[in-house]
Amino acid sequence: MSGPREPAPGRLGLWIAVVVAVVAWSTLMSAQFASTTEIVEVYATVTDQKGQPATGLTADAFTVLEEGVAQPVSVFAAGEFPLSVAVVLDRSFSMANKGLETARVGARRFVDQLRPRDRLMILGIGGGVETVAGFDTPRESARQALDRVTLWGSSPIGDTVVQAVGAFGEQRGRRAVVLWSDGVEKEAQRQRGEVLEHVRRADVLIYPVAIAPAISPLLAELAALSGGRVLQARDRAGAEAAAGVIAIELRNQYLLGYALPAGGTGWRRIEVRVNRRELRVRARQGYFVPVTAPKASAEAPPASND
């Protein structure tokens, strides 16, 4: 039996270069572009006038400002990055009359479009927050678990979002919550302001899908604060369409990284701009830098979105 082929002498240099490039890229991806105390990471979504992802942009198409000051972008990447996602299904009694089934259809469609290496968790809202499938659940088992979710209880939407964000733990890189709900919140333990502040501080994209005739203010605010997007689905076809929109968007984002400015603590406002007028960009509105000095006090995040 013959052994593995060696590269021809003339191609050895090229072969080594390819191996080095692959190893370097794999190492970078395995780190999931982890945020550290030295690099601020911003995941940006750029869409055209029809709401479709705008691809093929380069770093010079973007301007990132922190507290109104332009920051040199030192890390840039485009395309598909590692993703950890929590799919949240509202199973409360307000989702009767086909609401739950509509949400389930959309959730199934979204799960089917995830890549094998994406990490998935499924939560259910109803009489509290239930982990339907954890991150370690095999993909097919997680999908089947959606079929066993039945109507029950009320819907503490804000509590669920906080728990979903907390479930990511120390995971780094790109994280998202996809929430399927009618937006009717009942028996929440946390005040709305507390929930919104928690989302401000978390680097997690929130994608609510309103299974309702109208989008509730809470769902809209969750999306706006996180850099995600709120959609509406009134029926099964609409839910499947919304799932496709979210999946495509999560596969076509840009990573913009810059060095953490010296001396900044508390809430730091971020603005991302793109230099083409026909395009729109969405990204998180800021991040929170803990105060390390013993006598210093953190500045609270601003109350408004202005």
State the first-to-last Cα distance of the chain, in angstroms, to the nearest integer: 70
The structure's pTM equals 0.79
pLDDT by residue (tens digit) across 212-235? 999 999 999 999 989 999 999 999
3-class secondary-structure state, position 104:
helix
Strand partners, 68: none
For the residues of 168-231, what is the DSSP string, one character each? TTT--SEEEEEEEE-----S-SS-HHHHHHHHHHS--EEEEEE-SSS--HHHHHHHHHHT---E
Identify the CA nearest to 242 among candidates 268, 269, 211. 211
Please give the CATH topology (third level) of the domain spanning 83-250.
Rossmann fold (3.40.50)
Distance CA 125, CA 141 (A): 19
The strands making up 75-79's β-sheet, listed across from edge to edge, are: 75-79, 253-259, 39-47, 280-282
Please say if the pLDDT value at position 297 is more than 60. no
pLDDT of residue 203: 86
176 is written with which tokens? 């998202």
pLDDT by residue (tens digit) across 132-150? 999 999 999 999 999 889 9
pLDDT by residue (tens digit) across 87-128? 999 999 999 989 999 999 999 999 999 999 999 999 998 887
pLDDT of residue 292: 65
